[in-house]
Structure 1
Amino acid sequence: MTTDRFTAPAHQEELLRRARARAARPAPRPDAGQPGPVPLSHAQRRMWLMDRLGHGDASYSVPFATRLRGPLDVDALSAALTSLVRRHEILRTRYGQRDGEPYQEVLAAPGTIAVRVVAADAAATGDLLVAEARRPFDLSAGTLPRALVVRHAEQDHTVLLTFHHISLDGPSLETVAEELGVLYAAAAGPDTSAGPRLPEPPRYADFARRELRAGDAPSEGLRHWTDRLDGAVPPRLPAPVRAPADAGARPAATHTAPLDPAVPDALRELGRRHRATVFTVALAAAFATLHRCTGQDDLVIGVAGTHRRGTAMRGLVGLCVNTLPLRVDASGDPAFSTLLERVRDAMLDAQRHREVPFDRILEGLGATARGADGTALVRVTADVLGAPTALRLPGTEGEHVEVGLGEAKFDLSFAVLDTDRPAALVQYRRTALDEETATALGAAHAALLTAVADDPALRLSQLPGAAPAPRSGPATHPAEALLRAHPQVSDATVASPAGGPLLAYAVLRATGGPSPAELRAHLRDRLAPDLVPAAVTLLDTLPRDGDGAVDPARLPGMPSLAVPEGPHAEAVRAGFAALLGRTPAPDDDFFALGGHSLVAVQLAERLRRALTLPLTGLDILQARTPRAVTALLDERAARRAAAPAKQAARPVRARAGTVLVTGATGGVGAFVLRELAARGRPVLALARPESAHLVAAEGVDVVEGDLTDLDGLRAAVRRADAVIHAACTFTRPDVDVAAMAAMVDAWSNGPFTFVSSVDAYGHPDGGTVAEESPARDPLSPYGRAKLDCEALLLRAAGTDGRGGASAVRSPLVWGPHDRLRDQLRWGATGLLYQAAHEGRPLVLPRPGARGHDWYGAAWVHAAALARAVVSCLEAPVHGVANAVSGHVAWRDLATDLTGLLGSGSEIRESDEVHPDLDHHWHYRADRLARPLRPQPGEDRRAVLTAMTGAAPQP
């Protein structure tokens, strides 16, 4: 029987579907293990903390993509993936917190795991894969893998499976690929009744329990590591001369240099002669390159250790890795073969004590081992990579597809690609190394590998590569140089008041840049302690004298450092004392007092509840001292105090005609509130406790909550007579859809207006998009979530007493508001604005490129959008309406920006189309044309002038 579902008869397809459903049901397990929550393993705990500290981004997504040529049965793939998740409980585990401690809990097996299919040319697949892989996971809801199939032709597909790193590691991925092949063959075969023959897999929860019973960290092993690493410091990499402007959007880059095919075998032979593996030889080469790059003899490089031992853990899917910090002495100009023996001995020593969790090692070492994110001791790692894993499905040929997320977990990583096309790889954070230095480093590493493969007796001084030459030009303080190199800083200086500490001052390029704490953390992670300023102060401009030099006398100073006083200081001292066991001095370091990542999370949550001010665990790790944490809280309290005072709580019963507004603290929400106030409508505004003061005003009641508080959302909807839902997470589609479902469930009367997006159209056919045109793939995760939310709303409208519903799709929203000015930092407008701001060429798609006569974007003024949204309360559109103020061609926008900024940037046209500029649609806006009519000050030139802060043009 054929497996091509496009040609199989309908009745055979139905029989196959039923058989697959039976085969996918899991057989009863003889021993279900201990039910209920289980503590996290050490590796899971580290991953969970990264998520809690605000690092829950694409850094820890594991995309697994394969190009498959041949007939692909998508239903069989769905059945195989469902069976895989049922077999391995770790793939359907959620992560919660109880009394400050995390736990893991296995969720019920899913009935089926859907496989999303979109059609796209192979050339356009890269952006789709990256967008899908970048979608974050919500660990508290579970880590079910996601599946996407991109269909290029009937027998040509790219399959992407996305996992979270907390669920698996490298060996796990090989198990996943192997088992999916077996499960797919069983699901796609003519006889699916017997099911595949796979052994019962080990349970990760049992591994975590065994690890817990063995003890957190044997005292002897911990003592060994603290003695071994006492006094170690992270390597000081060459500071970037000029970090790229888009380093925040693409924080990592990779330099690849091919190696002669004979080099890996020569390295293996070298290892054999010295009783070392090829990995150890490659690691020694990384130490040699790092020594040549930094000029340091005492070096630390991190390597991945594994807890997998014996046949009992064969087939285990889960995270079983631990970072081992290897410290090696490269002094005395040894021969490379001598350095190899030192590295081999250090590696064997580390393996004997590999059970000690890396976090516990850092806690034992104290503050000197820490950087801003708690892992600064290991800035550099090394590895050997084999052929990448790919799916092998019957009837198809599979080829691994690299999904470049542009993320890096460390500042610098060396790797040797040991395949039929060997290469030396250097991955680096673009804020830690500049491209010129990294390119030279990658070439030097490849040359060094080739040299030692040919002659391992060469001394380190004879090997390729050398410490970078001192930078020419006037001497500047290293902190000032680093600040000036920061992509979001336009100007900076460092000064030292008489009798006072070292101080730094910075001017940001645009609104919404890094905070003073984030900039100080950036410096502390890259400089020796005595070079780190005591504080970073943000200024609108640096005061300068007549010659253009910075005038120190006009810089705000800090002549003395008094002990902080007041309620914030008292709360911080009490929090430090309660969680760390001792009352701190103002400048005691959090880590030196015994703090670690989990304590940072707990301290932030304690202070946030006590003071109702925004604070995260990452804030604690960046500030580190009670003085700095207090200053951060004072700054946020002052910002809140500058806003209108919050009104006293009103009775629970809302006033007649009350409109619930979500997203009221955002740019769109702020204009909606103004429009409702102008019409005299009472408002119930949803806001987090720390942000409530931003929306409190006459006629506005505040209800505390956010989109993750589903019970609070339902309660708020029940209190209102109408709803305007303007909030979204932008990066959490699952949260957006769950929030809409909860609100619709509670909606029982009055109209409901949802601020949606033209992203819900996807990539329409043709150049003009009418309202309610069907969606066309590919859709971004954000656009698909908007479409799903619209469907939930419009299905419920008019039922069970509910009023009419309106889904108002908006494009880019412009307006004079801090949150809207961020449009100038992201996407297409950000691409053009930043280039114009820095005087770089603006390269635009030429009309006619790729068959499209026009390239540009639709936009809407926030005030016009607010008028349109509020008008839907009185006259719902009972469907979808577009809210568009106008359309602007990229050339016109580029001309506006260069003129407003006084930029000398050249505007060029090209047949190449940048992905961010690949927009060529005009959107009709007929249903809301009346409220969208522009009012004075809402023309494009006026709003751009306000957003850029440029002087008004005559």
Structure 2
Amino acid sequence: MATDRPAAPALQEELLRRARERAAARTATGPGSTDRGPAPLSRAQHRMWLMDRLGHDGASYSVPFATRLRGPLDVDALASALTGLVRRHEILRTRYVQRNGEPCQEVLPAPESIAVPVVPADPAEAARLLAAEARRPFDLATGTVPRALVLRHGPQDHTALLTFHHISIDGPSLEMVADELAALYETAARSREASATAPGSHPAQPRPRPPQYADFARHEHRAAPGRLDEGLRHWHALLDGAAPPRLPGPAHPPTDLTARPTGSHTTPLAPEVPAALRELGRRHQATPFTVALTAAFATLHRGTGQDDLVIGIAGTHRRGTAMRGLVGLCVNTLPLRVDASGDPSFGTLLKRVRAALLDAQQHTDVPFDLIVDRLGAAARGADGTSLVRVTADVLGAPTTLRLPGTDAEYVEVGVGEAKFDLSFGLVDTDRPAALVQYRRAALDEEAATGLGATYAALLTALATAPDDLPLSQLTEAEGVQLPSTAVELGDSDAHPAERILRSHPHLSDAAVVSPPGGPLLAYAVLREIGGPSPAELRAHLRDRLAADLVPAAVTLLDVLPRAADGTVDPVRLPGLPSLPAPEGPHADAVREGFAALLGRTPAPDDDFFALGGHSLAAVQLAERLRRALTLPLTGLDIMQARTPRAVSALLDGRAAERAAASLRPATRPGQTGRTSRTAAGQPGRARTGTVLVTGATGGVGSFLLRELAAQGRPVLALARPESAHLVAADGVDVVEGDLTDLDGLRTAVRSADAVIHAASTFTRPEVDVAAMDAMVDAWSRGPFVFVSSVDAYGHPGGGRVVEESPSHEPLSPYGRAKLDCEARLLRAAGTAGRGGASAVRSPLVWGPHDRLRDQLRWGATGVLYQAIREGRPLAVPRPGAGGHAWYGAAWVHGAALARAVVSCLDTPVHGVANAISGHVAWQDLAAELSQLLGLKGNLEESDDIHPDLDHHWHYDSDRLARALRPLPGEDLASVLASMITPSLDRQPTRT
């Protein structure tokens, strides 16, 4: 008979666990202790409590956390997860009262349940409803249990809002909360499913108890009384005589700020600006944050005319493993004082800011309130923090609540007033921007606009300006929108129409060509999807030029084709009159290859597909040319270039690029130096800890190399001879070979201490399996990670696929090869000195790399993309068609996959793990693509299932969930935008 009570042994084990926990609570000391009863406030909490007592709180310190969730949402599981979260973290159920005249915090009993109300709401009304909910004040004396609200826009479309009080949470805490909620939600949902199918099943094991914030506050107060004296003396000497920046207040202060208490100005930056700022920082041994902070100081100097400036930055009290997993308020404000006098160059100012930042980081443990107290009345205003009126930060992608089975999208909820008078922010995502936020009661609107424009212009100018240019000259670029504009507009040799197009704010590149005997033609590259049309651009030119200077047509391109010297290559521009046929060995090989595979000799501008070509023929042609010419080339290159002329020009460019590459003569893998290039069959021993990476020149491989480089791991990269120079970098030894060279593979494996096998032929499964056999045969030590594919699952019967689920027929040849390779690897793991093995199955890999970018344009997802681009009607499967509730694609960001794969080197999964960033329904993908392309899709739902769209599986990815947690720019919308929007600094397509 079924029973809801656990079996006797399980009950005894649970009672023993609780007894041990109580014993630990009685004896624990320090920041991880578990004292009961009232606790003092931490320094950061004390200031927050004081603001509340002074009536300065309102909604300013509400922390709304909203996410649009598309997919099936289990509201009961969300309520259970939130309840479990509040039970685990006492700070989320704490009230703030006074005892004997002193404020203290008291932990309230854990709630039995937390309600999650669901309100039907049209998406257009969501912003108003969310803001109203988030603005509801908390009563600190009664507690700060987070509030929840779910807006229901449709059966599988919701917006979930959680509202916290800042006294109980900070930015890093919010990320932990999001992760824990997702895990607790999944546990609750599965428990409900299990209870429905198997009543009386054993409950999930309890999670380890996290550290509690009240214990941190106690530890802070128990510290030796004189512990901070040295730091206080340091800050007093540093800040003595400092004054807050003089910001121009509004001439007529607003009388009603309830509607818009905070102002902001966001200026988009060119996509290449963040990378240029990182390079600038690298030259000066400074982080991107330091570079952006220096730009804020320079902007403030320009805007106020002051040399002695103070800007605040966020510090943290989080230190050591004892505080890992701690939810609470652990932030601290660090005031940086910098001298901007003498019209320094930006490089000089950067050194001053870097020195001030390093100095401050040596004294982060001193609470800002104590610093203000030591400085006295001169540093204190009505709110106690007037010394820091201005702050600066670098902002990444915001945190979202990623619940299993749903796609998450961040939702901005505007509440409260800015906490500082002026804040500078560099938005470092795939859509970079310069942000200025300000209090409208404290800063003049016109002055704020000017500061925002100066900050954006300065960040832009830094991308190309010399490091030694004085600030007075550097900031003369105010108003410049593109770093290239300042240079290219001064090019007197450029056609006037080209100069005007280059200066257009919505264009990232342009060229004007005057072919012999033909009309003037213009070509332009949009900065973002949805920019001006060719007709609008031509009208823009007509308004500014004489009629004979206006091009006959403007053609929009993804990117301007350029020759090896960087100039626009007219041979590869569409629409030009016929040019002489290309000559030379590359052109001859291309012509012969077209003829051999397509059965006819092509003209220079014949289209590959018009001649009967297809994707497999493109791969075969690329392999033929690659072997004959020993130059990197892929099937996607053929499919994009399409004509013999364009393919020949591409090969000419690749040859010039290879000739310019600076590689030293071949050496053995163990030799020192910046790079080495070895023959695969050559014996040798690589550096200790070396990771062999196959497929290093591919899209996934490029992200793997970046992740390994970031961790400082030495790499042995397998590459074909024609592509070896493409992966040469610091810390990378290059071993020449490919999957068909089995002896070379064995030698390479023997030379390394770990293996990441990410290469695949995709079209020749017998080669893939033979290569795995050779590598496993040579494997004798360290971990081995194989980048497999979810195709190895075949066609499961249900809609959810658990890790290591058995495969179901039919399996494609590609999927069966992956499954066979996994079996060979996992059988060998742990034998004969071998380490652990991990088979990481991935779905479609997307990311800002040409080899990945085109996955969106071909295959199943390409069906949608091409239909939207061409305005063709397309029927997508209706939910429920064929007995399946959902149709769509699982996907993973290339960087997230790399993190997951590399994490398996240290912690092998000893089996199969899925690497999934998310799932997107065909309807949602079509909507996202339509929005990004600025086109309206002609899609309808149907019970007839298009064979290319017959995908209906959700894949669990528990084992690698932490490594797969998205970083800024890795959400679905951002990665699709990066794959569609032209990028000036994207990597060339290579093999």
What TM-score do you get using the length of structure 2 for normalisation?
0.44
